[in-house]
Amino acid sequence: MNAALAYALLPWIIIGSTALILMLFAAVKRDHLYISFLTSLGLLLALIVQLIQISEVDYKDSLVIFDGTTTLLSALIIFVSFLLSLLLYPWLESVNDPKEEYYMLFLLATLGSLVVCASSHFASFFLGLELMSLSLVPMVSYVDRDQKSLEAGIKYLVLSALASAFMLMAIAIIYFYAGTLSIDQIVNNSSFILESSATSGEGLANTVIYNTALVFLLVGVTFKLSLAPCHLWVADLLEGSPLPTAALLATISKAAMFVVLIRLFSFGDWHLQTDIVWILSAVAGVSMIMGNFLALLQKNILRLLAFSSIAHFGYLLLTLISMKPESALANESALSNEAAIYYLFAYLITVLGTFAVLMLLNTPHTGPQKPSSAITIDSLRGLFWNKPGTSLTLMLLLLSLAGIPLTIGFVGKFYVTLAAVNSQLWYLVAALIISSIAGLYYYLRLIMIMVEKTDAGESLAKEPFSVTSPILLTTVSSLVLGIGIFPGHLAEIIEKILT
Amino acid sequence: MILMSMILILLLGGLAAWASESLSPNAPKWVAALSLIIAPYPIRYILYDLGTSTNEGWLINEVTLWIQRLNITFHLAIDGLSLLLILLTLSMGLIAVMAAWKEIKTRTGFFYFNLLWSLAGVIGVFCALDLFLFFVFWEVMLVPMYLLVAIWGYENRRYAAMKFFLFTQAGGLLMLVSISALVLLNFQESGVLTFDYLDLIAHQLSPHAAFWVMLGFFIAFIIKLPIVPFHNWLPDAHTQAPTAVSVILAAVLLKTGGYGLIRFVLPMFPEVSVEFAPYAMALAGLTIIYGAVMAFSQQDLKRLIAYTSISHMGFVLLGCYAMTQQAWQGAVMQMLAHGISAAALFALVGAIQYRYHTRDLNELGGLWQVLPKLSAVGLFFVVASLGMPGLGNFVGEFLVLLGSFPSYPIFTIIAALGLILAAVYSLAIAQRTFFGPLKLGEALDLDTREILMMTSMAVILLWMGLHPQPLIDLAQHTLNQFPLGATIK
């Protein structure tokens, strides 16, 4: 291993060794506080290293690629896990089962998503993917006092194995045609199939088989991103699994997968393959509409967030589809890529913040924990008058998810609109508008419930003072508002990294 | 920084009002009133110079770079038209605070916070000359407005607030798509990425593209105005909103739609607008008649006035698309006069509801016997809304009709029929509320605060009716830039 690679891999090494140290430490002495501290420390260290690397590292070999996109999104993923790790301690403290293993799985899942994020080869991609999914399975059913949680665990295990099987099959067929597993060479090597498609019977058969492989691959990808029509698991899973796991599932596992999709499009030139663009357009449109319309009637906040995340990834897919250059109004080639990364950024920050607030609200100070399935919309009733700070932050986050100006979510949506209009994807723009309005309805419904006047509010038990919650709330709201009001700096950073 | 500081005063005033609630539940209203009074301070020298200067061009024009990546600027500027609307906003804001003085008793801090923030958003809309910035203000003013209706409204407030937000947001998204398309098309031809109004106005799109881009803006603005068939959020929002919010909604918020048409749609897409004019005029005629007919059949006094607002806003649309100077002047006058007369009527209904806890026309009646002052003032504003010569509304409607007749006689005749219907519903209000047998008990008549509020509005209306020339002069420069002579082929 040469020095450049070692340097590029430093964050991985730090996170991996933190997991190992945790394992050794837990074997000797189980101390929750210490282990929690080590986890956060490891992640913080990795975050600092990754941030330093952002503009420096440029490494590429057959398995991994560290360019601007990778380092920026890796930093974001580590940041998300770091913030979540801070919330784990008070939450796990109220769990009766062994707590230390959760941190290990947490770190391994993060590591897995980093590997996926940096992969430029199907082998490394698959390794990272399995590391991430297999760590998430026990995390989903970690706290087994709830039947729903076990159900969710089994569901995730079976379905994610199925998705992996589809992808493996796809990878095998692609290898058969292209003779390589490197993402950037596949299209070049298999271009003869596309060119000779209609000329002979054999060529036609080859095209059909090759396209089948691509569809198999897309099945796996859409499953992991919970896009329609492979979205059915996500609501049950988010409802059934413990809150921090749900947060991981909704944020970093999807983000990593999306980075792979970005890479397939930008390096693999997938935007030139009209079949794929067509399929993905349909997926994006259906996801936007279905996600937001299904979310309308949910009573559980986590189910609602699950459906809303389907729609958000529909919007994100729109940015990828808009990379096709031929119909662009303005020749700003970086725009779509930039839009994708900005929206992903906005989504991660906002969803993470929402989960953080939900964790703050649902961490019991005494007694056993509420299962996630008990976090209903009604439990927020009158929150604004009892806990104005928490509730204002949550409102801000919901407005950001809805894409109202002065929040980071709006800037993301603005970018998506700009990219979509630039590529003249009018049908998808129409879907975006319709689904945004439906989306607004349920976000507003949550806000409405929060500001409802209640009399029961005054009798709520006074909660003990804690330092984490105000710090966390200010961090989240200042990020959402700060980038929302001054989006320029982030836009410039992203633009610089992409060029 | 002049305009920005004016907006900042309101924003900070809002925060201060919220914070002051912990001192006393009465403190926020004083803070709110105070911040509305000092808000015009930054533009004082413009107000001094009004009589003497020529009012040519932009009175204030400030550009600050905001988002460098996309070349988005914090471009605030005002001309005569914006200035008039800003003054309307601030004065009606003050009226709204006075209307809420006794009515709002719970969570006062948050109420005045939202009130001031929505007014700040409206002023932002009237000042913004960067399309992105305009859109931001356009959307941001909704959130506090939504909270105002959703928290302090009447029985069915949630439904109304939601409807209001969704309708406007739908228009907003269409506008966002139009803005994106406009900017990108401009970028394609000129190679300059800009969201600036003054740059984009100089660029003419191809007719086909211009039509679709214009349509996005047009729908967004007529939803706000509101014009049939996008009107049906307004009666609900008005009926459920507390008095002060109804005042703001009628006086100021609806005017952002008319302002948008005059500032953006007409000058940016002159040729398409001319071609589109017959359809817009037809919608306007329909709105005038439909609003008036619907108003006549309402039992709820607030709902009735809401429908009269729709009818009156039809005149604004009619004036905008008549493409003559008089009609545009009329549209501006109509916006200002309606802003005041509708605000006064809503404040009156609020006063009646505060006393009798009802606004059902079947239960009211004979109020003149017990509340002579209130009824007299009420009659004045009812007559104003009917379009009595000598009051502001007459000037607006007359100029619109005068300006529209040469180019679109049929639509103008239809619109003029609306005036007869206006007389019908206006007199119905007066008849069923103030005259006839008294059905309700005794109540206190208007107090000093309410008399002050009502007479000030009455005086302004009278002044607008008798001597409208200064106002017309002020808005004239904006209107001069428009494509003239769009007569029918």
What is the predicted pLDDT for the residue at B55? 56
What is the predicted pLDDT for the residue at B46? 81
Residue among B136, B169, B183 minimizing CB distance to A406 = B136
CA distance A495 to chain B (A): 8
What is the predicted pLDDT for the residue at B445? 84
Give chain B positions within 8 Å (CB) of A455: none
Give chain B positions within 8 Å (CB) of A441: 162, 166
Half-sphere exposure of residue A388, counting CA atoms within 13 Å on the CB side? 6
pLDDT digits 0-9 by tens, B278-312:
999 999 999 999 999 999 889 899 999 999 999 99
Cβ neighbours for A325, distance < 8 A, ≥ 6 positions apart: A271, A331, A333
Cβ neighbours for A462, distance < 8 A, ≥ 6 positions apart: none
The helix or strand, by DSSP H or E, that contains position A60, with its residue range, turns out to be: strand A59-60
Q: How far apart are CA A55 and CA A114, in angstroms?
A: 17
Average pLDDT, whole number, for chain B?
Answer: 89
CA distances (Å), origin B328, targets B126, B390, B476, B480: 17, 20, 9, 10
pLDDT mean over A41-64: 87
B136 contact A CB<8A: yes
Question: Contact B311/B387 with Cβ under 8 angstroms?
Answer: no
Chain A interface mutation, best of B105, B157, B180, highest count of A Cβ atoms under 10 Å: B180
B484 contact A CB<8A: no
Give chain A positions within 8 Å (CB) of B185: 329-330
In this model, does residue B487 exceed pLDDT 60? no
pLDDT mean over A383-403: 89
pLDDT digits 0-9 by tens, A272-317:
777 788 889 999 999 999 999 999 988 899 999 999 999 999 999 9
pLDDT mean over A317-338: 76
Omega of the bond prior to B226 within 30 degrees of 0, cis? yes
pLDDT digits 0-9 by tens, B374-384:
999 999 999 99
Cross-chain residue pair B177–A433, CB shorter than 8 Å: yes
**Full-model pTM:** 0.92
Chain B interface mutation, best of A331, A422, A481, highest count of B Cβ atoms under 10 Å: A422
The lowest-confidence range among A219-228, A422-431, B4-13, B55-64 is B55-64
Give chain B positions within 8 Å (CB) of A397: none
pLDDT mean over A87-102: 82
In this model, does residue A434 exceed pLDDT 90? yes
| Domain regions of chain B by residue span | 280-489
What is the predicted pLDDT for the residue at B488? 37
pLDDT mean over B417-422: 90
CA distance B333 to chain A (A): 32
A481 contact B CB<8A: no
